[in-house]
Amino acid sequence: MPGKLLGDMDALFPEVQLPESRVLIIITGGTICMRRSPDGLVPAKGFLKAGLAPRPSFNDGSYPEPLEIVTDDKGTKKAVQSLRTPISTYDRRVRYSVLEFEELLDSSSIDAAGWDHIAKTIYRNYQLFDGFVVLHGTDSLAYTCSALSFMLQDLGKPVILTGSQAPMMELQNDAQDNLLSSLIIAGHFMIPEVCLFFNFKLFRGNRTTKVSAEDFNAFASPNIPPLAQITSLRTNVQWNLVYRPTEVNPFSIQTKLDTAHVACLRIFPGMKPEMVDAVLRTGGLKGLILETFGAGNTPGGPDSAMTRILADAVKRGIVIVNVTQCLSGSVSPLYAPATVLGRAGVVFGQDMTTEAALTKLAYLLALPDSTPQEVAKRMSVSMRGELTESTRTHFEHPKSGTLTPELSNLTALGYAVQKGNLQDTRDIIRGEPRWLLNDADYNLNTPVVSALSHYHLEVAS
């Protein structure tokens, strides 16, 4: 009934223009746009005409004027057909156009060049649209989401990647719900992140992983809840989870991710150290993602062959990042084997997915003037919400009844910072340079945060 009333109002008052947002749908390929052929399902062109225009949910029948899109780095513009959705729950229409890649790909074939193509397409059209939806195959979707989250720098608009387990042209499919929901979110909500939408849930893209090859519920975000969920009544956005940059800079992109110089290796019981050494001596290798047991453990101890091989590789300038094989959880110095790796120079990947760790490493290595030391340092720091930064709390009652030297120094540092005593602060830090500035009090404030909160800028710097 509400939809009918709104339609009647449009007929009675055609001059009344409801607000509309503009979204560009970028089609890279994948199951969602596939059709049957004698050789099985294959990506097919003409998705707007065959898949969207005949469906009332995607086309209100108004057939608005074409929209312009930029097609190359020279700024060449091309007028393409646009469609408009019916009025949404939020009294807004979404007007959209479709840009299909010349070569539609199965997602298993996408690489860094494909990521560059997507990023450049968004960059060229950034000022012309309010949001972007990228249609992509599911097999490598989590990798592309993670890569784009780093490549799209200072993003201020929603970029939502989606796909389907069954093609839009099949009778039973998840394509229509996934695409329509992505389109509505991109056109209604200012979520300035690279996201993945699937099965009524919007995830942070660099937190996702594919968990099923068949189910419609194909993706999960094990270490952070969904940013939004679709219900029968509305879109429920968890605004407290939405990542927002702390600085305002012009939108830019970083291309040419160094995927040819990174690798991923999964540790297994009985693995020979020579296997790890062979991978680490691959010509041109600059970084390795090491998938380890549990909280970051590998076989052997501090003097084992495995540890020596990893330590030697770090000394040669190879950045090694430790992530867990588990679906959820974090790599931390909880157990001795993980601590041993940390002392050997292996970076704790914390709760990053393998997809996020690999693409982040490739992104950092592609930055101008990057060094192994700088890359290793930034791998354990959140850049786009891809990991949960954690710190130990040391303001606590000691179980032994006495304060350890570390706790005493952190307490003394806290008082020195609070008083703005620069000389005492320097003296304490010189005595404990390894970890003091990374630890926090019971309010989870580090010494630097405490100095800033008391406006002691000289101490903070």
Cα 358–chain centre separation? 11
221-to-5, 30, 206, 245, 451 alpha-carbon distances in Å: 40, 21, 9, 21, 35
Which residues are CB-neighbours of 201 under 8 A, at least 6 positions away? Answer: 219, 226, 228, 229, 230
pLDDT of residue 294: 85
Taking a C-beta distance cutoff of 8 angstroms, is the pair 32, 167 a contact? yes
Relative to beta strand 252-253, strand 152-153 is antiparallel
Dig out the tokens for 181 from the structure.
């929901």
Q: Among this protein's residues, is 31 annotated catalytic?
A: yes
Catalytic position from the list 28, 31, 209, 292:
31
Do the domains 259-379 and 18-253 match in fold? yes
CB atoms within 10 A of CB 434: 7
Q: CATH fold of 18-253, please? A: Rossmann fold (3.40.50)
Return the domain boundaries, the chain.
18-253, 259-379, 405-460
Q: What is the DSSP string of 172-208?
A: S-SHHHHHHHHHHHHHH----SEEEEETTEEEEGGG-
Q: How many beta carbons lie within 10 A of that of residue 23, not counting itself?
A: 27
For the chain, what is the total number of helices (H) and then of strands (E)?
14, 21
Q: Domain 259-379: which CATH class?
A: alpha beta
At 381, the amino acid letter reads V
What residues have CB less than 8 Å from 224, skipping those under 6 apart?
A: 204, 207, 241, 385, 388
List residues bridging with 379 in a β-sheet: none
109: which residues sit within 8 A by CB, 6+ positions away?
none
Which are the contacts of 61, defined by CB distance < 8 A and separation ≥ 6?
Answer: none
Helix (H/G/I), strand (E/B), else coil: 87: coil
Exposure of 161 by Cβ count < 10 A (0-12 exposed, 13-18 middle, 19+ buried)?
buried
Rounded Cα distance, 177 and 199, in Å:
8
CA 301 to chain centroid? 34
Contact between 428 and 409 under an 8 Å Cβ cutoff? The reply is: yes
User: Where do runs of H (alpha helix) occur along 46-174?
Assistant: 47, 112-124, 141-151
Per-residue pLDDT of the chain (461 residues; tens, 9 = 90+): 444 444 454 554 444 566 899 999 999 988 888 888 787 777 778 889 988 999 999 999 998 999 999 999 999 999 999 999 999 988 899 999 999 998 887 777 888 999 999 999 999 999 999 999 999 998 899 999 999 999 999 999 999 999 998 888 888 889 999 999 999 999 999 999 999 999 999 999 999 999 998 889 999 999 999 999 998 888 999 999 998 877 889 999 999 997 889 999 998 998 888 999 999 999 999 999 999 888 877 777 666 888 889 999 999 999 999 999 998 888 876 656 667 788 888 898 989 999 999 999 999 999 988 899 999 999 989 999 999 876 554 444 554 555 566 666 767 777 777 777 777 777 776 666 555 666 665 555 666 556 545 545 555 55
Regarding the domain delimited by 405-460, which CATH topology (the fold level of the hierarchy) does it fall under? 1.25.40
| Cβ contact 184:94 at 8 Å | yes
Question: How far is 216 from 179, CA to CA, in rounded Å?
Answer: 13
Residue 81 phi, psi (nearest 5): -60, 140
Pairing of strands 347-348, 20-29: unpaired
